[in-house]
Chain A
Amino acid sequence: MNTAEQHSPQEPIIEVDGLVAYYGSRKILDDVSFDVHGGEIMVIMGGSGSGKSTLLRHLLALNRAVSGSIRVFGRDMGDVSSRELHRLRQRMGVSFQNGALFNSLNVEDNVIFPLREHTLLDDNTMRIMARMKLEVVNMAGFEKLMPAQLSGGMSKRTALARAIVMDPNLLFFDEPSAGLDPVVSADLDELILRLRDAMEVSIVVVTHELDSAFRIADRILVLDKGKVLVIGSVDDVRNSDNERVQNLLNRRSEDVVVDPDEYMHRLTDELTGL
């Protein structure tokens, strides 16, 4: 287990306060508040439809909050200019669920891409930097492969190399273990831990994989139906007496009590002639 105490608790890198989000008229996040400290691995955990991907999109300023605030590196993401957001994003790295590699570029060019856009380095220097990061994620030798030729694990590792090529202070992982076999998944978890230690970077991981979450987390935030059920260390979450948390940890489905009147209403809603 990795405790947050092993890393100096500095100013929060991320501060989320009372975040509310909607898709259309459906409330997806309801009063979500938490913070992430420097050098910490925060795992956001929850089942499908819990709102964790929406939360990630808000943290990345891809979606705007209806109410509440998100501060990253001390700046309110709802209030920054596009130039400042641009600068902030250069201090972040993101590894998307399916890698989101650019299909028209090979592995090396994918990793070089942020350097090419944000720096004035010469081509050879950029290639050396990209190859260094590919070494870190065990992708050396695969530089010339195209994304379509990569396995799921290789795509994720390449995406990780691209995410760290600008040496970010904050890393986001969306479902790093999804679709991977347990061995590859464990390798990726180890890689995340090594990166945190080597780069002193704060990491936010969104996942529904319990084993992975417990292996890498300093703290875990459990989301359910858009609400925070619990935030705490791995032990805090394991020992939580919240029934929903225990259901999630023990992979138990919840028995939903059906109201007969509501059930009939759902079946006949919007039907005419009844």
Chain B
Amino acid sequence: MVRPVIEKVGIGAVQAIEEAGYQFSLFVESLYWLIVGPFLQQPVRLRIIVSEMMKIGVLAIPIVVLLSFSNGVILALQGIATLKDFDAESQVIPGIAYSVTREFGVLIAGIVVAGRSGSAIAARIGSMQMSQEVDALRVMGIEPVRFLVAPILVSMLIMMPILTLFADTAAMIGGGLYSGIVLSLSLTTVLDRSFDVLVLYDVMQGIYKSLVFGLLIALVACSNGFSVTGGAEGLGRATTRSVVMSIAMIVVADMVFTYFLTR
């Protein structure tokens, strides 16, 4: 009875290690092409990076701003309701500033990018794999990692911190507006108080995490795309898996990083 379970766990563990190894190899190969590519007349094309930045970052700004603004308001609602018991409602302002810059801004940006771009990247590479477009690239002497993965990786590493800053700002405005109304303060006063308590390291905590999240989303999405087999059903499975894995990895990575960054 126990043996099949152990076998399944073992097979799962081996597959997970294989997958992690594959993702790491995608990362190393992307770095290779970014650094060595220009000397081999095979650069990672700037126009593709810009196009990916547009898709991954610029088009995600409205939804990131909306969700972050709402999150800021929610934090203010919960904060004021909780702090009322201790007669410390005014402390909601630094509370929001810390939690947004260190935690929630980057988390919302990460989850939105994982949901939007993680699935889109996996689906795009997966459908290219199915229709032999990836093979076509290879036989044309164009390395798929240089052409497909490296631009996505660079775009993620540029756009995730930018989206995080947008998310931080929107959440602080959202929380600030609500707190201001309840505490009879102007938004400028609330934001001034927020910036008084914040130090650069608070914002940088979010930025460091955003780089890790961007890396994870890019590698998980690309590896899932390249491993598509089994037609449309396989493509759907890989797309879903990409989103679920990205979000799960983001949250776990967040926990680990928060542990080290707050020590």
* Least CB separation from B138: chain A residue: A62
- Contact mask for chain A residues 100-114; partner B; CB cutoff 8 A; 1 contact, 0 none: 111100000000011
Q: Give the complex CA separation of A85 and B140 in angstroms.
A: 10
> Quick check: is A243 within 8 A (CB to CB) of the other chain?
no
Partner of B131, one of A90, A100, A114, A118: A100
> Quick check: is B5 within 8 A (CB to CB) of the other chain?
no
> Quick check: is A204 within 8 A (CB to CB) of the other chain?
no
Q: Give the complex CA separation of A118 and B142 in angstroms.
A: 9
CB distance from B135 to the nearest CB of A (A): 6
> Quick check: is B15 within 8 A (CB to CB) of the other chain?
no
Interchain Cβ contacts within 8 Å, total number: 54
- Is A100 a contact of B133 with CB atoms below 8 Å? yes
- Secondary structure class of chain B's binding surface, majority of residues: helix
> Quick check: is A83 within 8 A (CB to CB) of the other chain?
yes
Q: Give the complex CA separation of A6 and B131 in angstroms.
A: 37
The residue among A87, A117, A172 with the most chain B CB atoms within 10 A of its own CB is A117
> Quick check: is A60 within 8 A (CB to CB) of the other chain?
yes
Instruction: Name the B residues within 8 Å of A94 (CB-CB).
Output: 136, 139-140
CB-contacts of B115-158 with A (<8 A): 127-128, 131-133, 135-136, 138-143, 147
- Contact mask for chain B residues 37-51; partner A; CB cutoff 8 A; 1 contact, 0 none: 000101000000000
Q: Give the complex CA separation of A98 and B136 in angstroms.
A: 11
Interface residues of B (CB under 8 A from A): 40, 42, 127-128, 131-133, 135-136, 138-143, 147
Beyond A62-B138, A90-B140, A114-B142, 8 additional pairs, beta carbon < 8 A = A57-B135, A60-B135, A89-B139, A92-B139, A100-B131, A100-B135, A103-B133, A114-B140
The 14 listed contacts between A and B (C-beta, < 8 Å) are: A57-B135, A60-B135, A60-B138, A60-B139, A62-B135, A94-B140, A100-B133, A103-B133, A114-B140, A114-B142, A117-B42, A117-B141, A118-B140, A172-B139
